[in-house]
Structure 1
Amino acid sequence: MRKNLEDAVALVTGASSGIGEETARSLADVGADIALLARREDRLEHLADELEADFGVETLVLPADVRDEAAVESAIDQTVETFGRLDVVVNNAGLARGSDVESMTTDEYRQMMDTNVDGVFYVSRAALPHLRETTGNLIFVGSFAGQYPRPFNPVYAASKWWVRGFAHSLEGQVGDAGVGITVVNPTEVRTEFGSEDGESFEVRFEAGEVTEPEEIANAIRFAALQDGSTVSELDLYRRDKFAGW
């Protein structure tokens, strides 16, 4: 396990808020230069300025949508052209739309699958050749919904079961090339998640009521610091999660 990520380059998707934003801070804190990928360019610019000022790292702002295959490939290429390497990739971008299958619109379904499944595939496919060169780490933000049934949103759960199955199968495919694969599974995290269709977790829960994004970011950093070994899977949840089950 490395002590830091100095001279390493990390790319974080969904970096404009929540887990992605805190992950960028956490990786910069241990010396990594950071490529920030998300749709909201103004937020990325603000975060980039903060990381450079607070941690003395270099940053690259990549306004892109992970659902856009060409944009993802261009972002990965731009990262390697700018920094000369790619050591850590965090597949964090994701969303939840709708809930009940019978009332879910096709647009809601497609947005979820295009982001949570296709976007993860596009980023992974584009990043893997570069991670092979650096024997780097590819980290997926999964979910407890990818391990247990989620009756109130089966489609979101299915997308996260896909992420987990894809990640672990990929782990077997590229492990002999020295690429580390990790899945980090949070439960509820106090972020903007859920705001697409109503009240976000940030609004719904008080501080300390559920997991904070910083806690997930620290788990991601732990996985990113691995060198030679792999943290295959990490589950993070509040300590009373299973009380009364």
Structure 2
Amino acid sequence: MSPKVVLITGTSSGIGLAAAVAAANAGYRVVATLRDTSRAGALRESGGDLDVRQLDVTDPASVAACIDGVMADYGRLDAVVNNAGAGHLGTIENESVDEVRRVMEVNFFGVVQVTKAAMPHLRASGGRLITVSSVGGVVGQPFNEAYCAAKFAVEGFMESLAPVAARVGVAVTLIEPGAVASEFVANLQVDPAEVIANAGPYAEVLQAYVARTRSSFGTGAQTPAQAAEPIVAALTAEHPALRVQTSEWATAFTGTKLADQDGGKVLGLTATWIA
């Protein structure tokens, strides 16, 4: 039998890169996608057997072309890992609504776009739909209003889709990392010093938040490889949980809000609504 095919978005660095390499090492045929293929150096140098392709999750034509290409070349799609996304730093008084929309476009609507295109093929294969969310999709955090709103939306979308997808053979899983030692500042797509300088009455508290966050992404963070381990586990588990935290810290942190941490009680309830 040919190996199972998994498409992973946002694989230029961090969790996406680590997940692509780990899935390949686990025997999957990995289609590693990224918006800008000029940033594929780490993928190509990883030593993994990876099929690197261009995919911009915010562009419907790009999403369709990539998935159609995978089906044309392999004839199957067994799993998708929605990992592409971008961080953000700011508060609503100091930024435009258009900036908030851009954050939602990448972190939420990009997930929706890929999921819609992939679902017919995942349904055909009885596949897996795995989405990298965040502890920020469960607990709102200062100066992360737009980012957490997008991740909250991802959580609600996937939790609602899960019982429906299960009825047609597709398992849905949300991966919830905490701090991961990757490119924190680069992933923000802004200069924190500039944002602080223009923060007006919020400057002092924003500076405190940035200092705390830099520390947590430095000494106390997981490696991307550690954060990617639950992704591969969700690919291979017979019955993957709806919600998986990537560390004990992430479980404790989300536990301040979630009593049903693996999502089993919620799914047990909503699945009966369509039985």
Contact 2:31-2:51 within 8 A present in 1 as well: yes
Q: Residues 203 and 239 from structure 1, CA distance in 2 versus in 1: closer, same or farther, beyond 3 angstroms?
A: closer
The residue number in structure 2 matching 1:215 is 226
Contact 1:117-1:163 within 8 A present in 2 as well: yes
The residue number in structure 1 matching 2:272 is none
Gaps of 5+ in 2: 193-209, 257-275
Would you tell me which structure has more helix in proportion to its own residues? 2
Q: Please report the TM-score for the alignment, with normalisation by the length of structure 1.
A: 0.86
Aligned-residue offset at 1:207: 5.8
Aligned match for 1:18, one of 11, 14, 17: 14
Contact 2:179-2:217 within 8 A present in 1 as well: no
State the SS of the aligned residue for 1:50.
coil
Query: Which letter maps to 1:130?
Result: H
Deviates more, 1:25-34 or 1:203-212: 203-212
Query: Which letter maps to 1:34?
Result: V
1:205-232 residue CA offsets vs partner (Å, 9 max, x unmatched): 57652122111210000001124x2321
Distance 1:24 1:178 in 2: 24
State the SS of the aligned residue for 1:85.
coil
Aligned-residue offset at 1:198: 3.3
RMSD of the alignment, in Å?
Answer: 2.5
Aligned match for 2:159, one of 161, 168, 173: 168
Find runs of 4+ consecutive structure 1 residues off by over 2 angstroms. 42-46, 48-52, 105-108, 198-208, 236-242
Aligned match for 1:104, one of 92, 95, 102: 95
1:22-57 residue CA offsets vs partner (Å, 9 max, x unmatched): 0001101101111111122133265145344xxxx4
Q: Residues 233 and 69 from structure 1, CA distance in 2 versus in 1: closer, same or farther, beyond 3 angstroms?
A: same
Contact 2:179-2:220 within 8 A present in 1 as well: no
State the SS of the aligned residue for 1:178.
coil
Contact 2:180-2:217 within 8 A present in 1 as well: no
Q: Please report the TM-score for the alignment, with normalisation by the length of structure 2.
A: 0.77
Query: Which letter maps to 2:221?
Result: V
Aligned match for 1:230, one of 240, 250, 260: 240
Distance 1:169 1:186 in 2: 20
Residues 130-145 of structure 1 correspond to what in structure 2 (within 5 A)? 130-145=121-136
> Percent of counterpart pairs with the same letter?
33
1:90-117 residue CA offsets vs partner (Å, 9 max, x unmatched): 0001112232111123342122111011
Residues 61-100 of structure 1 correspond to what in structure 2 (within 5 A)? 61-100=52-91
Distance 1:44 1:83 in 2: 22
Aligned match for 1:197, one of 190, 211, 214: 190
Gaps of 5+ in 1: none
State the SS of the aligned residue for 2:173.
strand
The residue number in structure 2 matching 1:157 is 148
The residue number in structure 2 matching 1:186 is 177
Contact 2:8-2:82 within 8 A present in 1 as well: yes
Q: Residues 204 and 239 from structure 1, CA distance in 2 versus in 1: closer, same or farther, beyond 3 angstroms?
A: closer
Aligned-residue offset at 1:203: 7.0
Distance 2:218 2:108 in 1: 30
Contact 1:183-1:234 within 8 A present in 2 as well: yes
Contact 1:211-1:238 within 8 A present in 2 as well: no
Aligned match for 2:117, one of 110, 118, 126: 126
The residue number in structure 2 matching 1:37 is 33
Aligned length: 233
Contact 1:190-1:211 within 8 A present in 2 as well: yes
Contact 1:36-1:60 within 8 A present in 2 as well: yes
The residue number in structure 2 matching 1:148 is 139
Distance 1:13 1:216 in 2: 16
